[in-house]
């Protein structure tokens, strides 16, 4: 009887998950991989926006990358929007602006709102580019990044473009695991977007038309969340302009960011992602999240129950874990190859064992604890 129940539950949770991953992998494979993007004249005016807070250690590398962009200076502006930093990051930017006029520091007023979302909107109000590109202060990128990310907008129907994000391997086991886990998110973002069903994007590497965003911003949901404008904007664009979102499968459009410094910081970030998901209304995104969450929750619970109470089912449950691992590998392997990190697959067996427990823990914590961004608990914007 117990074995029959486990079998039915396995079909109920693992079969939809397998079909979902097949759908995503097929989308990833059919997305063309462009080594070099071409963009015709005249080039669009581009505004790069970076919201930052206490990022003095990371700003020099970012500023260097942005200064090296192979894009006409008269068609480019870089808006660095401060969110009440308490370090000397603003001094670094001010010094940089004297040598590079395309850079502009946007300071908050004493009565202005706090938080990343508010900092981004202050910059957006001042942006003059036809195309807006956002990234984070702890990112670095290729000198063709702006050109590659702006290239999809030659198609007038395109309203948003998302680029890949890689986690830099710092040599530690923890950084390798983060890089491997994040590659699955990149694959999911690219694969789903290729079918016109985007479910993930990352503000660290995102581009959109300024006119479209300004039209949608007043009605954008998720105002109570400190961050998440990237996902809420993606959903709004998908709703009002179906099929207008592209994933740029080009390593020249990729940004690199450092891994979380500690397990605590890592989980705080993932909890923040989970907490803002309660504001999503896109049905396919919600369905995708539910399938992934429930399948991993089932795997974690089934293993614990089997080890503690139903040892006779251990072979059956271990078989399920192996099947799920193979399904996950079908997604992660092509993405790590694309990102030039195939050796990360050495850590896949460990990650596949930890992942269901990590997802279950993050889900529980994300719905219980408030979201934060740089020590901020509530959004005053």
For the chain, the structural domain boundaries read: 2-26+283-368, 38-271
Q: Which CATH number describes the domain made up of 38-271?
A: 3.90.550.10
Query: What pLDDT score does 366 carry?
Result: 62
Mean of the per-residue pLDDT values of the chain: 87
User: Residue 130 has what DSSP assignment?
Assistant: S
Query: What pLDDT score does 217 carry?
Result: 83
Segment among 136-145, 176-185, 219-228, 258-267 with least mean pLDDT? 219-228
Of the candidates 150, 119, 140, the one whose C-alpha atom is nearest the C-alpha of residue 47 is 150
pLDDT band at 181 (very low <50, low <70, confident <90, very high): very high
Of the candidates 81, 65, 236, the one whose C-alpha atom is nearest the C-alpha of residue 160 is 236
Tell me: pLDDT of 233 over 50: yes
**Looking at residues 8-32, what average pLDDT do you find?**
92
Query: What pLDDT score does 328 carry?
Result: 95
Segment among 20-24, 181-185, 200-204, 274-278 with least mean pLDDT? 274-278
Q: Over the stretch 270-291, which tens digit does the pLDDT of each residue have?
A: 877 777 777 788 899 999 999 9
Strand partners, 59: none
pLDDT band at 175 (very low <50, low <70, confident <90, very high): very high
Tell me: pLDDT of 380 over 60: no
For residues 198 and 238, is the Cβ–Cβ distance under 8 A? yes
**Cα separation, 183 vs 358, whole angstroms:** 16
C-alpha distances (whole Å) from 247 to each of 23, 45, 101, 232, 369 are 16, 21, 31, 17, 32
Of the candidates 280, 300, 314, 282, the one whose C-alpha atom is nearest the C-alpha of residue 14 is 300
């Amino acid at each position: 009887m117990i074995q029959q129940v486990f079998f039915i539950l396995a079909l109920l949770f693992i079969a939809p998950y397998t079909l979902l991953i097949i759908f995503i992998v097929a989308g990833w494979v059919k997305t063309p991989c462009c080594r070099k993007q071409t963009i015709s004249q005249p080039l669009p005016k581009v505004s790069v926006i970076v919201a930052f807070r206490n990022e003095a250690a990371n700003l020099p590398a970012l500023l260097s990358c942005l200064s090296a962009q192979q894009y006409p200076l008269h068609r480019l502006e870089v808006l660095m929007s401060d969110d009440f930093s308490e370090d000397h990051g603003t001094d670094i930017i001010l010094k940089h602006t004297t040598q590079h006029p395309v850079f502009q520091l946007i300071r908050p007023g004493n009565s202005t709102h706090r938080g990343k979302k508010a900092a981004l909107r202050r910059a957006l109000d001042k942006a003059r580019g036809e195309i807006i590109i956002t990234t984070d202060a702890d990112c670095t990128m290729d000198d063709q990044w702006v050109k590659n990310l702006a290239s999809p907008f030659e198609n007038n129907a395109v309203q948003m473009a998302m680029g890949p994000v890689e986690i830099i391997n710092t040599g530690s086991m923890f950084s390798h695991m983060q890089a491997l886990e994040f590659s699955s998110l990149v694959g999911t973002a690219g694969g789903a977007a290729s079918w016109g069903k985007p479910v993930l994007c990352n503000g660290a590497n995102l581009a959109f038309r300024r006119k479209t965003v300004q039209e949608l911003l007043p009605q954008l949901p998720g105002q109570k969340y400190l961050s998440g404008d990237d996902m809420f904007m993606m959903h709004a664009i998908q709703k009002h302009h179906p099929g207008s979102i592209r994933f740029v499968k080009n390593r020249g459009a990729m940004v690199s960011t450092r891994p979380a410094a500690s397990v605590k910081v890592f989980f705080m970030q993932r909890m923040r992602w989970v907490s803002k998901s309660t504001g999503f209304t896109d049905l396919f995104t919600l369905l995708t999240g539910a399938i992934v969450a429930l399948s991993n929750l089932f795997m974690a619970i089934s293993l614990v129950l089997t080890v503690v109470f139903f040892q006779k089912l251990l072979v059956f449950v271990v078989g399920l874990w192996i099947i799920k691992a193979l399904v996950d590998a079908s997604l992660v392997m092509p993405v790590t190859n694309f990102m030039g990190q195939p050796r990360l697959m050495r850590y896949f067996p460990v990650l596949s064992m930890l992942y269901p427990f990590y997802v279950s823990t993050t889900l529980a914590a994300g719905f219980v604890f408030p979201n934060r961004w740089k020590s901020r608990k509530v959004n005053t914007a």
